[in-house]
Structure 1
Amino acid sequence: MKNQLNCPQNLKLWAVIPAAGSGSRFSKSELKQYQVIQNKTVLEHTVLRLNSLPLSGYVLAIGEQDNFAKTIAFEALEKAHFCLGGSERVNSVLNALNYLSQIASEEDWVLVHDAARPCVTQDSLIQLVNAAAASGQSAILAIPVRDTLKSVETGAEISKTVDRSKLWQAQTPQMAKLGVLKHAIEQALLAQVSITDEASALEHLSEPVQVVPGRSDNIKITYPDDLELAKLILASQQSAI
């Protein structure tokens, strides 16, 4: 049986989708979020998945030269908002949070999700929201590290095997209250802390963040091979419905 959303009716959910990256590891000339799978762009699939939740709205942080995003007929287009992205992912997220601050409450919840992560399931999204709403704490989807990890400090020589028993691989969405997340990112930037995801900014201020077990098929499209894998995952997920 599928999980049901168990959160107060007055709880407001918003999504932030940073989509201003250059995607240089995917292609020097093409943006991964605009590659097409089953007649939809990757970004459309991502927005479609997020809209399986009762969102109050979603904000797409796009590049200054992006003239395509606003022409797409996204799911729940009436809930779509756009803002200018930044030079790095963290800057795009902060710009979107600043935009949201004008139309949302600091106590509203925000789910930050990678534009090129189109395979997240509704069940995983519901589990994430339920966990955050029940605890009142920030939460992220993550999976335990499965493979043996090696530390290589110089050249190609292994220096040691890393204990993976307590290691988790972070995914998105990552969920926090708007005011808490905005403040955490601002403070981390001021302190020049390396912010690789939203949780790292929250950790900098010792804000508790819990992991919610995700799924290994919630992949992020980074390289061209990932696009082919995403096609297979989406087809498999749809055939299982």
Structure 2
Amino acid sequence: MATKPSSTIEDYLMEIYDMGRAGRAVIAARLTEKMGSAAPTVWNTVQRMHRDGLVEISAVKEITLSAAGMEAAESIKRRHLLTERLLVDILGLDWADAHEEAHLIEHTITPRVEARIMAVLGNPETCPHGNPLPGLDPRTRPTTRPLSTSKTGDEWVIDGINEPAEEDHELMTFYQRNGLMPGAALKVVDVQSYNHTITVEIEGRRVTLGTSAAENLRIIVEAPAVSAEQTTDNRQQT
């Protein structure tokens, strides 16, 4: 597809990309739920994307990105995450508000502006919520798991917030208010199976998390296999 996709198509591309990255099969019903449009509208849009070579539709109606679709999806995703960084790091917007505000800006960013934002921000590897920019060597990412898998006495460092949770502004505000953000260290002090809560100690305070909050918080269990600097050096030598 030679021309830049419309903002609507870019929204669909990013949703399909996010679902795929989360390991979820993409079907029209799930897209309808996420996009907030009528089912016929969503399916017609998907068919247009198929016509334009952006997605493939299997015999069982599962939707996947084509090579061209993946390239376009990674582009809009990168612009979205960079916009979040710009809003938080440069403009001082609240961490919990960045995701929603970035959606209003991302479609207007040109490749030239994207490159400038990258330079101004010092080539960040993640968004403010700890999610990696597309195109990074996966070996530079730590091994993680949900906080909900912890037991009493475990000590962790937070890697980030699962991307679907960023849509929940109330949850993001809870994380921010309690310092549950990437890089923060915490200790699990209580796990209650009967009501599915986990209590952690962070910065001298105790915070109790319910199921959703604990499942969407990623903690680091193993450091990256290689550093970003190593992969950069390797590319320069080849």
Same topology, TM > 0.5: no
Which structure carries more relative contact order (alpha carbon 8 Å, separation 6+)?
A: 1
What is the TM-score with the length of structure 1 in the denominator?
0.26
Larger Rg: 2
Question: What TM-score do you get using the length of structure 2 for normalisation?
Answer: 0.27
